[in-house]
Amino acid sequence: TIERAHSPKNLWEKIKLSKNYTKSLAQLDEHLQYWPKKLLHRNKQRLTKIHQYLMRMRKLRMKTKPNLVVISKKIERRESPSSSYSWRTTETSIEKELLERLQKGTYGDIYNFPEREFTKLLDEHEEIESEQSEDEEVEEEVEYVEDFEDESDMEDYEQQGSNSDNDDDDDDESSSDEDQPKRKKPKRQPTQKGPYVEIEYEHEQESATS
């Protein structure tokens, strides 16, 4: 008001508006009735905008929002898939190099390698050695069986020769002495491929009964 023009700090008067929207508009019309229409309309626009802000804030409080957490860029780069892939490739290259050096025996007894990678490489090396030793044992067993098969064939051949000689002797004895009973020929057992086994046959002659 013009009566307060001599004190500029008191030239403007603050009036607290009510929380109700319609009542606050009526207060503006009452206190700004002598002001230009343009300023009155601008104040009403500002009042409506403030009420819209308050309504929006109430709605947001009613809704559940996700909790946002701040992540630093360093951690994000460290956990990115590209960095993990590069870490895997470096780990595999280190394992290969360690294995080559272990096979060559370039180092002594004391090692300063990471324990996890070193134990893993030692386990792999032991598995490879055990597989090689098993393959060598299998080859030796196969050769041993083949040798026994050759020996069994030779024994069969010798038994056939001895059987033929025994047949000739039996014919001579039967012609000379007819009273003696005929000898029982041993039946030839089927040969089985396997380890060498010696078999002895005993021929018993029954006394001639008169």
Q: Are 203 and 196 in contact (CB under 8 A)?
A: no
| Interior/surface letters 71-80, b for 16+ CB within 10 angstroms, e for the rest | eeeeeeeeee
169 domain residue, yes or no: no
73 domain residue, yes or no: no
193 domain residue, yes or no: no
45 domain residue, yes or no: yes
* pTM of model > 0.95: no
How far is Cα 39 from Cα 41, in angstroms, rounded to an integer?
5
176 domain residue, yes or no: no
Give the pLDDT band (50/70/90) at residue 48.
very high
Tokens at 64, concatenated: 């559940």
Residues 137 and 105 in one domain: yes
Q: How many domains does the chain have?
A: 2
Range of the domain at 90: 86-162
6 domain residue, yes or no: yes
Tell which residue, 105, 108, 106, 124, has the closest CA to residue 116.
Answer: 124
Residues 101 and 148 in one domain: yes
Amino acid 172 reads: D
Span 90-138, pLDDT tens digits:
777 777 777 777 777 666 555 555 556 667 767 777 777 777 777 766 6
Residues 115 and 51 in one domain: no
Residues 140 and 103 in one domain: yes
Mean pLDDT of the chain: 70
Long-range contacts: 162-166, Cβ < 8 Å, 24+?
163/188
90 domain residue, yes or no: yes
